[in-house]
Amino acid sequence: MMTRLARAAAQLQLLEELADRTSYVHRLTPLAKIVTTAAFIVAVVSFDRYDISGLWQFAIYPLFFMIVGEIPFSILWTLLIVALPLTFFTGLSSIWLNQHAWAMIGGLPISYGVLGGLALMIKCLLTVAGVTALMATTRIADLCNTLRFLHVPTVCIFQLLLCFRYIRVLLEEAEQMSTAYLLRSPAANSIRLPDVGVLIGQLLLRSYGRAFRIYTAMKCRGFSGAGHMGHICLLDRRSLIFLTAGCLLLFVGRLVNFSVLAEVLIK
């Protein structure tokens, strides 16, 4: 428990440290990256629920960010561990609900449900990878400033900002609590099930207390709900080229299935 929490906190720190780098993708303006990532997500989720072949080509987008921005794949894996199980179980229900045969592969019937479940997991993988690429190449302050420019409600921006800032503090508190618990429970390897509820309750109370103190601190410095966050460069030449080319390629990728095209050309 302790190691997992510490690892999660370290990964969050890594995400922020990665955002401070200065590669080509890091130097693009947040606006260009946000718009392109949004276009990427829309393109990915707009595919038919059984269409797998057209999805693969979209892996190029996060791969480009990961390679050019030198982002370790381990960070993507950490976030996928959180997101994939949920999608996996949703995919399982799809298998159970739709058992019509789609094809026979090696004598094994593949149902539409399996296909749908697989498509769902690929979509999850791609969208998480896209958002990870964005977060690992953009500082949270710049991201929030740009969201403000895009007229995202201030309350949502502050939620994002404070979540990002305090999730690590919360993880540290959770780790301290679990350490204190384990030090007084020499026979236990982990937190016993009956005590989990009590510890989670305590953590919630602590979180509430901290949230209240932070809000008080904000009010003491004149916060009244309307956030002010300074100015930011929205688009430069490099970012404009990236934005135009990126959106164009995503549009083409959505219209043309390159794996099918390649198959036709080979035949």
Partner 1 sequence: MFEAKHVSWSYPDGYQALKDIDLSLERRECAGLVGANGAGKSTLLRLFAGIETGSEGRIQLDGMEYSPKNQLLLRRRIGYVFQNPDDQVFMPTVYDDVAFGIRNFGLEEAQVERRVVAVLDELNIGGLKNWPVHKLSGGQKRSVALAGVLVMDPEIIFFDEPTAFLDIKGRRAFVEIMKTLGRTSILATHDLELVLELCPRVMVMAGGRLMADGPAKQILSRGDFMAAAELEVPASLR
Site for partner 1, rule CB under 8 A: 13, 16, 20, 139-141, 144, 161-162, 164-166, 168-169, 210, 213-214, 216-224, 228-231
> Looking at beta carbons only, is 83 or 232 nearer to partner 1?
232
Q: How far is the CB of 144 from partner 1 (least distance, A)?
A: 8
Q: What is the dihedral of CA 166, 167, 172, 174, to 10 degrees?
A: 120
CA pair distance 65, 141, nearest whole angstrom: 20
Q: Which is nearer to partner 1, 13 or 244 (CB)?
A: 13
Least distance CB 12 / partner 1 (angstroms): 9
Question: Partners of 101 in the beta sheet?
Answer: 111
d(CA 221, CA 172): 26
Which residue number, 184 or 231, has a Cβ lying nearer to partner 1?
231
95 or 214: CB nearest partner 1: 214
Q: How far apart are the first and last CA of the chain?
A: 55
- Closest distance of CB 164 from partner 1, Å: 7
Rg of the chain (C-alpha set): 22
Round to whole Å and give the CA distance between 121 and 108. 21
Min separation Cβ 229 and partner 1, Å: 7
Question: What's the CA dihedral at 159, 160, 164, 170 to 10 degrees?
Answer: 30
Query: In the complex, what is the shortest distance from the CB of residue 217 to partner 1, in angstroms, rounded to a whole number?
Result: 4
Helix axes 237-255, 30-45, angle to 10 degrees: 0
Nearer to partner 1, 170 or 247 (CB): 170
**Which residue's CB is nearer to partner 1, number 101 or number 211?**
211
Q: Give the position of tokens 């960010």.
A: 65
Longest dimension (CA), the chain: 71
Structure tokens at 66: 């990961």
Q: How far is the CB of 216 from partner 1 (least distance, A)?
A: 6
Backbone angles phi, psi at 104, to 5 degrees: -110, 120
